[in-house]
Structure 1
């Protein structure tokens, strides 16, 4: 395949749909027509900041960044593009006694000073199962059926995201990244490889990675 064709196969399409579901996206312009691999460095570009810096493994371009100055990064975080534009806001929603805390994901940067009746509704909610390394991702105010589910293994250090409850290959996988040498040794625990299947929203995957990190 020539370089022009390769570039076309990696072209990012823009869609109008914004519903959350196995066949749709939160940030449609971040859905590639081909599989994508991202490299996540679990460090902020800012000194003493907690966050992530995310690159396209194929060409080294920065795709996302997460910079948090405050110590409350487990309560709220902003997923930004490479220029600092806020794509998603990830907020923790606590319940009494901390049982089944959930996370809500909003489009853009939300205004917390808004009156309750005018506050922006989240795109979806993420809830962790009790006693089970599994999360359900459900669209806000729609069907109670999960749009996605996420499983993770703390011992083997991987995370997989599936569409709905269907038995099918994962739509995205997160593992520790291997070096490029002949031995393929694992890099540090702060360097991750994220493999994303075609038409899967890269911003959604990154938001779930952030939530998984904060919930543990």
Structure 2
């Protein structure tokens, strides 16, 4: 497989921007522990494949997704070295909304492999508003398939790349936002956007949510 040749130049370009004073105020930092800032590029590093490339604040490859389909039954998030981190599998269930199970490691058609857990660690459900409920909610995240109370929620609009991930106390633990360019009139568009992750929260899990939101709302 050939790796996309413009990764290095793109990596430099997306990290030319510094956090503004407004961003620093919006994301308070624990002393000595900064928020994680990731740039997501909706493009695979492998030529002729669809996917995602995620770059950390130092310009290094943090996560990747290759062979990405518009509505697959399974999506695998890999780290920069190509090791499976999380597997998302669509749950076939009667109902109006998408429901996905999130596993650690890799899950194959013949069962679990590569260190994956025997049961899903999270269940992510698309919020379907029928006459009532919070219309601003995009999805709910549960710690188990039988839990009645959600552990996290996603609010905003993924289609516009303006989402917040909130915990049960409504504290923002991560945010998906547009990537702004410093040049006047320049824009990265919707295919390049930013993840801001609060200290102590798993950036890989936030990226898994991005993949599922992309499935649900793109």
Please indicate the TM-score interval, normalised by the length of the shorter structure: 0.7 to 0.9
Distance 2:157 2:140 in 1: 15
Partner SS for 2:215: helix
Query: In the alignment, which of 81, 87, 90 is matched to residue 92 of structure 1?
Result: 90
| Structure 1 pair 198–209 and aligned structure 2 pair: CA distance change class (3 A) | same
Written as runs of structure 1 = structure 2, the 5 A alignment for 1:1-216 is: 33-56=33-56, 58-68=57-67, 71=69, 74-96=72-94, 99-114=96-111, 120-131=118-129, 132=135, 133-140=137-144, 143-153=147-157, 156-164=160-168, 166-168=169-171, 170-181=172-183, 183=184, 185-216=186-217
RMSD of aligned Cα (Å): 2.4
SS in 2 for 1:172: strand
Identify unmatched segments of 5+ residues in structure 1: 1-31
Contact 1:50–1:73 (Cα < 8 Å) also in 2 = no
Contact 2:178–2:192 (CA<8 Å) still a contact in 1? yes
Query: Equivalents in 2 of 1:157, 1:74: separation in Å?
Result: 22
* C-alpha separation in 2, matches of 1:214 and 1:141: 20
| Alignment match, 1:16 | none
Contact 2:70 2:215 in 1 (8 A): no
Q: CA deviation at 1:145?
A: 2.2
Gaps of 5+ in 2: 1-31, 130-134
Q: CA deviation at 1:167?
A: 3.0
Once the two structures are superposed, what CA deviation does each residue of 1:76-134 show, in whole Å capped at 9, x if it has no partner?
111000010000001111223x522301110000133139xxx9211110011113442
Change over 3 Å in CA distance of 1:74–1:33 after alignment to 2: farther
Q: Distance in 2 between matches of 1:109 and 1:100?
A: 24
Corresponding residue for 1:4?
none
Give the conservation status (yes or no) of the 8 Å contact 2:161–2:193: no
| In structure 1, C-alpha distance between the alignment counterparts of 2:70 and 2:170, rounded to whole Å | 36
Q: 1:87 to 1:73 in 2, by over 3 A?
A: farther
DSSP-derived class of the 1:145 partner: coil
Aligned residues: 176
Contact kept, 8 Å, 1:110 with 1:120, in 2: the verdict is no
Q: Alpha-carbon deviation of 1:33? A: 3.6
1:176–1:186: 8 Å Cα contact kept in structure 2? no
Distance 1:47 1:145, change over 3 A: same
In structure 2, relative to structure 1, the CA distance for the partners of 1:75 and 1:196 (3 Å cut) is same
